[in-house]
Amino acid sequence: MKIQRKNYTVKLGEPSVYVDNESRGRSGHMSHAMAEFKKGAFIDFNSNCSAKRYGGHFPYGWVEYRISKDCGKTFSDIRTLDYSYKSFLDGINTISVEKAVACDDGTIVAFCLRNDAMKPEFCEPWATPTLIRSCDFGKSWSEPEQYSSYPGRTYDAIYRNGVIYALHFCNPNFLGTTDEHKYRIYESTDNGKTFSELCIVPIDGTGRGYGSMLFDDEGTLHVYAYNSNDENNMDHAISRDGGKSWEVLAPSYLKEGIRNPQTAILDGIFILHGRTGDRKGFVIYTSENGSEWDEGYFVEHKNYIAGAYYSNNLNLEDENGKFLLVQYSSPYTKEKDPYYIATVNVKHMRVEVERK
């Protein structure tokens, strides 16, 4: 599929099933982190969770991962993340890995969300976030360490010029309700051994949830947030000095809305993808400036509400050039007229940009 724009064309490859949860009677809610630790070699996480608990929309299970050494053409056998499996057996928290980064020396840092396993539905309240590190490309992992004293959810993480940046929404529940619920950015200059608070992003946390963060090609830091009171307008703030000072821009209008926004830059073009505002599809938007977005394109759209389309992405380059690997959860069902489906497989899609 080609999306024609004035100055560029976006090519979408045919989505393929990466994790077939339907065949094993499971679901795959959350945990789509990916990180490239060597040229063309990356780690790819997915969840293995119950298809029964809250209809599959609850990370009641554990985390798995695989390694690819050829830009995603082939993958290793599935490995279980021990930390997540032990937590599952303990029954107090389940673990999700929504973001991970790889440092210049190959160290992988995985940011872990601690979900409340005691509640019959959802996964709140969240505990304080933890991280684990691997110095041998995923063969073994360090013991989990808390990196922030604020309960909440780490929505994004970036490694740039020797620094890890982590965007953490300091709120034990999904949507902010008070002034204390803030987006904080933490940084590490020692490959994730220690972290310190860099700044507070001046986006009002009330009614907000989710979040995405990126540096553009000029070094400007962008942070986006989901507004539950207006799903067609995504909050947007930028910093031109690495987080020291901020400018809150006008919200970005998105025709089909957005939930759990994920962003990237490919050949100078901003890419945004996530669940649509009506919760019935997976949409991708593009932009030349990160503020004004096109009308969007449906990668998938159903006639029912789907507890699906959580996603992530990874910039890669193979013999055919630079591309974005997009990973997302896709609902599966055998019912003829479902109303709500949250049991999901995990799919991969290749995205390329051609400049005119």
Closest to 210 measured CA to CA, from 239, 183, 180: 183
Beta bridge partners of residue 80, listed in sequence order: 64
Question: Residues 119-144: what's their mean pLDDT?
Answer: 94
Beta bridge partners of residue 112, listed in sequence order: 97, 130
Question: Which has more pLDDT, 66 or 335?
Answer: 66
Task: Please report, for the chain, the start and end positions of each structural domain, with discontinuous segments joined by +.
Answer: 2-355
- Output the CA–CA distances (angstroms, integers) from residue 225 to 79, 127, 262, 351, in the order listed: 32, 21, 10, 23
Q: What is the pLDDT of residue 303?
A: 85
Contact 85, 65 (CB under 8 A): no
pLDDT band for position 336 (50/70/90)?
low
Cβ burial of 170 (10 Å; 0-12, 13-18, 19+) is buried
Domain 2-355 has CATH 3.30.465.10: no
271 pLDDT higher than 80? yes
pLDDT digits (tens, 9 = 90+) for 149-204: 999 999 999 999 999 999 999 999 999 999 999 999 999 999 999 999 999 999 99
338 pLDDT higher than 90? no
Give the whole-angstrom CA distance, residue 175 versus residue 58.
Answer: 17
